[in-house]
Chain A
Amino acid sequence: MFDFLEGYDVLGAFWTTVKLTALSAVGSLILGTVLAAMRVSPVPLMRGFGTAYVNIVRNIPLTVIIVFSSLGLADIFGMTMGAPDDFKLQGFRLAVLSLVVYHAAFVCEALRSGINTVPVGQAEAARAIGLSFSQSLRLIVLPQAFRSVIVPLANVLIALTKNTTVAAAIGVAEAATLMKTMIENEAQTLAIAAVFALGFVVLTLPTGLILGWLGKRLAVKR
C-alpha cells in the first residue's frame, strides 16, 4: 500500500524540516527577546522601532517574505548568504533568515505579554536596590516572564514548524518540496498528503505536550 514511498528520502526531507525549525526557533527567540526588550525600554526611539517592526513584519505574509528574500535579496541585490555557488545552501539560509525575521515578531509579542504578568512592584523594587534597566530586565523581569509564556511560545514553535513548508516556494529540499515531487511522479495525491500530514503531527504533537507540561511546572505561582 505504501510502495509509493520507495525511492524517496522522506526521512531526509523531514530532517531538513527539523533543521530549518531548530535554527529558526533559536534565531527568532534571540531576535524576539531583543525586540521585546526594545518595546518595554524607556527610550522612545527604541520603543518606536520595536512597535513598527512587529506591526509591519507580522502583517506581511510569510510567502511574500520568503519569495522576496530569494527573488529580491539574492537574485537582484546579489546577496549570496556566504554561498555564492551553492543554491541549495543559499536557499536554506535565506529560508532561515525569513523564518527568523517573521517569527521574531510573534515571539516578541508573546514575551511582552509575559512581561506584563510580572507585577510592577518587582521592577520598582529592582530599581530601588540600584539595578539599571538592563540589569532589572535581565535578572528580575525576563526570568519570570519567560516562565509564564512557555505555552504561548510553544504555539509559536508549532506554527514555525508548519510554516517551514513555505520554504518549498524557493526550492529548499524540505518535506513539502518532496511532497510536490512525489505527487508529480506518483499521481497519488491523497495517500502522499496523508503521509506528510502524519509526519508533521509526529513532529509537533510531542512539542506541544512537553512544553505544555513544562509550562505548568515552571509557571510562577502568584
Chain B
Amino acid sequence: MKLRKVTAASAAVLALALTATACGGDDSKDSGSSSSGGGKIKVGIKFDQPGLGLKQPDGSYAGFDVDVATYVAKQLGYKPDQIEFVETKSADRENALARGDVKFIAATYSITDERKQKVDFAGPYLLAHQDLLVKTGSDISKGTDLNGKKLCSVTGSTSAQNVHDTIAPKAQLKEYSGYSECIAALQSGAVDAVTTDDSILAGFAAQDKYKGQFKLAGLKLSNENYGIGVKKGDTATVNKINTALEKMVSDGSWQKAVAANFGPANYKNEPAPKIGVIVK
C-alpha cells in the first residue's frame, strides 16, 4: 500500500516535470520564431553580479546588463513583462545559445576570438578594463605596486590568469569561486586588492552595505569589450540588436543606465563604444 502511494507520487512528479519542460520548449520556440510581439523572449544574464546582473531578494532583476537587455528587447518588440531572464553562468553561455535556450545573452560577455568561433556577437556595448578594488586609503596606484601584495580573484577567470602572466607575477593570488568571497576577504584585510573588470568591481563597491569602504584604483590593465551573444549564424538578430544599441546610446538611455548602476564607486566610464569596433 505504502509502495503504491510512493509510486503514484513519483509518477505525479514525473508528469509535472514533463509538462514543465514541455512548456519551456514551447516558450523558446515562440521567442525563436517570432521576432516581434507575442510570446516571451528569453534573455541570458548573470544573477550574481551587483551593478550588472543581479537577482534581487524580491525576485526582480537589476543592473546594467539587465537595463541593456530590457532596452534591446523593447526594440525587438517585447514589453518588459514579456522578458524572461535566465541565468547563464560563464561556462554555460555558448551551449545555452547553441541549444536556443535564450535568444541573446547580455552577461559581462567579453568578445574574444575563441568565443567568436562558437557564437556571434552584437555590440560591443561597454568597454571595461581589468582593475583593482582596494580599501579607501590604500596606497596601491600602479600595476607594479602589486608585487608582494595579496590579491584575490575568481578561480579560472581571465583576470586571475592576467595577474599570473603579465601584470604582477610576484603577487600572491588567492582564488575563490565567487567575487563575494573576495570582497569579504578584502573587507577583513586578508587580501590587499580584488581584481576583475572595473564594471563588476564598481557594482560591488556601489552596494549600500559597502558604500565608502572601497575604491577603484583606476588602472587600465586590459580591455574587455562586452558584447551581446547571439546564436552562431543568426545575422538578422545581430543586426537588429546593433541598431537597438545605437539607438540606446543616441537617445541618452545608455549614459543614464551607466550612471544609475555604477555611480557611487568613483567609476569613470569609457564613452559608449562604436558598434563593431573592438578595442584590443
Contacts and interface: CB of A to CB of B under 8 A. Distances in A.
A168 to B, nearest CB: 6
Contacts of A171: 155, 160, 173-176
Interface stretch (B21-29, B73-81, B125-133, B181-189): B181-189
Interface string A166-201: 001111000001111111111111100000000000
Interface string B176-205: 110001001100101100000000000000
A71 B172 contact: no
Contacts, number: 81
A131 interface: no
Nearest to B185: A75
Interface stretch (B4-12, B88-96, B238-246): B88-96
B173 A87 contact: yes
B247 interface: no
A189 B190 contact: no
A128 interface: no
Contacts of A85: 172
Contact of B185 (A71, A169, A182, A186): A71
A24 interface: no
Contacts of B173: 87, 171
B161 interface: yes
Interface stretch (B113-121, B139-147, B252-260, B264-272): B113-121
| Residue of A75, A91, A181, A185 ringed by the most chain B CB atoms within 10 A | A75
Nearest to B156: A180
Contacts of B19: none
B94 A168 contact: no
Given A87-B173, A187-B94, A169 B156 contact: no
A181 B156 contact: yes
A169 B177 contact: yes
A22 interface: no
Interface string B66-102: 0000000000000000000000001110110000000
A171 to B, nearest CB: 2
Contacts of B181: 67, 70-71
Contact of A187 (B118, B158, B161, B176): B118
A178 B155 CA distance: 9
Contacts of B138: none
A6 interface: no
Contact of A75 (B114, B119, B175, B184): B184
Q: Report, as a range, how many residues of chain A touch the other chain.
A: 20 to 34
A91 B174 contact: yes
Interface residues of B, number: 30
A177 B117 contact: no
Contact of A169 (B90, B115, B117, B176): B176
B150 interface: yes
B156 A87 contact: no
Nearest to B171: A87
B157 interface: yes
A76 interface: yes
A67 B225 CA distance: 32
A186 to B, nearest CB: 6
A180 B172 contact: no
Contact of B176 (A70, A178, A185): A70
Contacts of B92: 189
Interface string A64-107: 00010011001110000000011100010000000000000000
Given A168-B155, A171-B175, A177-B155, A184 B90 contact: yes
| Residue of B94, B155, B173 ringed by the most chain A CB atoms within 10 A | B155
Interface in B12-58: none
Contacts of B158: 184-185
A168 B191 CA distance: 18
A91 B94 CA distance: 31
Nearest to B189: A75
B156 A170 contact: no
Given A71-B184, A181-B161, A168 B177 contact: yes
Interface of A: 67, 70-71, 74-76, 85-87, 91, 168-171, 177-190
Interface of B: 90-92, 94-95, 112, 114-115, 117-119, 150, 155-158, 160-161, 172-177, 181, 184-185, 188, 190-191
